[in-house]
């Protein structure tokens, strides 16, 4: 089901290190290579201020609560600076809204209706893109989730899963963001328009030391997803 791709690396002959020096140096990977950037306004929400490669971020919230907007805006900055994204399982994506949230549509691949093949499609795309926004249909089987997470870790890609409920994703993600409550502002009895949405969110996960509550605009009246307040 998940065909492994063969990557061929060319071996380069390097001069041997001095024995004394070898004991002192440790191989490092620059921090920027281990993470994918998020918009500065959202950075305080995530441990380390960015999306870590190879990890899963779960964004859950009922239909219409703004979970999809939040998921999209987590990817937006990375796509803007040149990383490729895929949106799998978002059946009817509002691409105009995604562009408004900052996603660079030139670097987004959509697989809107993979139906039963969503896990396979996501796994296949993990070979090609660095971020995946996944909206699985209903509850995710344990095995499928585990395979996907392992694949994301192996390919060093960031997986952002958007679900309606927290328990639709069977594993414990590195970061779990739950939209608990959201209210729209701007519409009344005919006048105005839907202008800004204020959402109470709960951020928890293995990376964060403890659960944190925050208020975010999804989006604000200026069309940006920003943090309105953070309280522990």
Footprint on this chain of another protein (rule: CB under 8 A)? 62-69, 72, 82-84, 86, 90-100, 105-114, 117, 120-121, 124-125, 127-130, 181-184, 186-195, 197, 219, 223
Taking the CA atoms of 215, 217, 221 and 224 in sequence, report the sign of the dihedral they define: positive
Report yes or no: 36 and 78 within 8 Å, Cβ to Cβ.
yes
Nearer to another protein, 49 or 186 (CB): 186
Question: Cβ of residue 153: shortest distance to another protein, in angstroms?
Answer: 17
Let me know: does 208 contact 193? Beta carbons within 8 Å: no
**Of 174 and 201, which CB lies nearer to another protein in the complex structure?**
201
Q: How far is the CB of 141 from another protein (least distance, A)?
A: 20
Nearer to another protein, 200 or 208 (CB): 200
Distance from C-alpha of 176 to C-alpha of 219, rounded to nearest angstrom: 20
> Which of 160/174 has CB closer to another protein?
160
Residue 201 pairs in a beta bridge with: 179, 214
Residue 210 CB, shortest distance to another protein, in Å, is: 27
φ, ψ of residue 59 in degrees (nearest 5)? -115, 115
Parallel, antiparallel or unpaired: strands 192-205 and 158-163? unpaired
Minimum distance from CB of 121 to another protein (Å)? 6
């Amino acid at each position: 089901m998940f065909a492994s791709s063969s990557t061929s690396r060319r071996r380069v002959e390097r001069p041997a290190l001095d024995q004394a020096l070898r004991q002192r140096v440790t191989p490092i990977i620059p921090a920027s290579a281990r993470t994918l950037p998020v918009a500065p306004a959202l950075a305080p929400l995530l441990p380390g201020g960015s999306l870590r490669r190879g990890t899963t971020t779960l964004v859950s919230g009922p239909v219409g609560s703004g979970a999809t907007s939040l998921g999209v805006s987590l990817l937006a900055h990375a796509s803007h600076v040149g990383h490729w994204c895929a949106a799998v399982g978002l059946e009817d994506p509002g691409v105009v809204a995604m562009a408004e949230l900052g996603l660079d549509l030139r670097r987004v691949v959509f697989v809107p209706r993979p139906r039963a093949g969503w896990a396979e499609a996501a796994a296949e795309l993990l070979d090609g893109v660095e971020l995946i926004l996944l909206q699985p249909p209903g509850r995710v089987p344990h095995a499928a989730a585990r395979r996907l997470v392992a694949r994301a870790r192996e390919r060093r890609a960031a997986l952002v899963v958007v679900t309606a409920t927290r328990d639709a994703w069977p594993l414990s993600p590195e970061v779990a963001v739950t939209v608990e409550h959201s209210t729209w502002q701007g519409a009344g009895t005919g006048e105005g328009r839907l202008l800004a949405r204020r959402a109470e969110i709960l951020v928890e996960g293995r990376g964060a030391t403890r659960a944190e509550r925050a208020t975010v605009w999804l989006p604000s009246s200026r069309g940006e997803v920003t943090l309105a307040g953070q309280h522990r």
